[in-house]
Amino acid sequence: MASRRLATLVHAALLLAAANGLQAARRGMARSATRAAARAAVSMSALKPGGNVLAVGNGPVFLLAAKTAAAAGYPTTIVSARTELFNQLLWAEDEDRDANLRILGVTEDEDVTAFNEAVASADALIVAFDAEQTLTDTLLDVVLPAEGGASRVVCLSKHLSGKGMGPFVTASKVAANKEVWCAPPERVEMYRSFEAKLKAKVAAKGGDVTIVRGGTLKGGGPGDPESVQTVAPTLAPRFYAEIVADLVNWQLLFDCETRGVELTPGDSAAGPGFQAVFTATASDARPGDSGRVQVAQALVRSLALDGAAGKEFGVTTKAARDHPSDGEWEAEFAKVL
């Protein structure tokens, strides 16, 4: 009874972590050793069509990753303490909601049971934080049990090499845009430590990890209502009201002007350097930036690629009025895998 009570408390704490607006959640259980052994035997294989995805993290990029996974045909589960807000951010008023995306609440016993089942039945795990944070050790154990659960993992991290960083970038974060990635040493160490723990944990169960690196995250909505495209899922227009307080909505302009993507091998992408003061709220393609829509696409598309298992690559921006086609994505992945 005591162990059962402890498990319930862990599950409850996990759900409550979703309570801060755009912050979203996690939780877990286990499967059989037989299933784990079988999945270890198919290590390095791509996530099959229709595979179950569990997405954890916070912020717009997390919601986008979940919506993108659902649109790709993967039944996807997330947790929210504010389901109504999440739905308003995910779906425009005239947009049909994707039945592949399931949003669990945080208040009912059925939510705990459903999340346990989602953890146990997950074929893949997406970890995507908009904020500069990672999963705690406790929550990592919850969403990645030692036996069963996801064996294919894709994780959003940051450019950690330090290239193109420095005092100008740090100053731009303070003065212009608090979401600027300036690679402070303590955050770099946090990400490196988490990546190492994640890789070790997944390797121990015969699985594979893909690390997708980003810089300053920008955009995420549909852009100009007159130029909305269905090639890549985006958040609803409500997103702009939630995230932008500036008089000029540069996030919306970014989503109109910077729909292209360039992938970089390993951890090689550079920050904005001396240009940081100009790039912090720039809507065009600039060094050190990553579009949320493109990051979400990279996370989900990498799950379906055999060659992405065990690899890392970066997502940078490119000027374009159209989202990349499947062929363009294939060409970009060919450069880095």
- pLDDT (tens digit, 9 = 90+) per residue, 256-278? 999 999 999 999 999 999 999 99
Residue 274 per-residue DSSP state: G
Query: Radius of gyration (Cα) for the chain, nearest Å?
Result: 19
In this structure, which amino acid lies at residue 255? D
- The structure tokens 């919601």 sit at 63
Exposure pattern of 240-252 as b/e (b: 16+ CB <10 Å)? bebbeeeeebbbb
Residue pLDDT, tens place only, 155-178: 999 999 999 999 999 999 999 999
Phi, then psi, of 28 in degrees rounded to 5: -175, 180
Mean pLDDT taken over the chain: 86
Look at residue 80 and tell me whether its pLDDT is greater than 60. yes
Look at residue 150 and tell me whether its pLDDT is greater than 50. yes
Is residue 122 within 8 A of residue 149, CB to CB? The reply is: yes
Q: Is 280 helix (H, G, I), strand (E, B) or coil?
A: coil
Sign of CA dihedral 118, 202, 57, 317: negative
Residue pLDDT, tens place only, 84-95: 999 999 999 889
Which of 48-57, 122-131, 228-237, 269-278 is predicted with the least confidence, judged by mean pLDDT?
228-237
CA distances (Å), 111 to each of 86, 103, 135, 211, in order? 16, 10, 20, 30
User: Token pair of 92, please?
Assistant: 């425009």
Chain centroid to CA 189: how far? Answer: 20
Closest by CA position to 277, among listed 171, 136, 145: 171
Average the pLDDT over 228-251 and give the result: 81
Is residue 303 within 8 A of residue 44, CB to CB? The reply is: no
State the pLDDT confidence band at 21, using cuts at 50, 70 and 90: very low
Closest by CA position to 297, among listed 101, 59, 65, 48: 65
Chain centroid to CA 333: how far? Answer: 18
Look at residue 78 and tell me whether its pLDDT is greater than 50. yes
Q: Which residues pair with 289 in a beta bridge?
A: 216
Average the pLDDT over 241-259 and give the result: 82
Complete domains list, the chain, with CATH: 2-336 (3.40.50.720)
Alpha helices in 72-183 (DSSP H): 83-90, 109-121, 137-143, 167-175
Exposure pattern of 54-78 as b/e (b: 16+ CB <10 Å)? bbbbbbbbbbbbbbbbbbbebbbbb
- The Cβ of residue 183 has, within 10 Å, a number of other Cβ atoms equal to 21
First to last CA, the chain: 49
Chain centroid to CA 128: how far? Answer: 3
- CA–CA gap between residue 222 and residue 256 (Å, rounded): 8
State the pLDDT confidence band at 321, using cuts at 50, 70 and 90: very high
User: Token pair of 36, please?
Assistant: 């784990």
Sign of CA dihedral 70, 254, 269, 137: negative
Look at residue 144 and tell me whether its pLDDT is greater than 80. yes
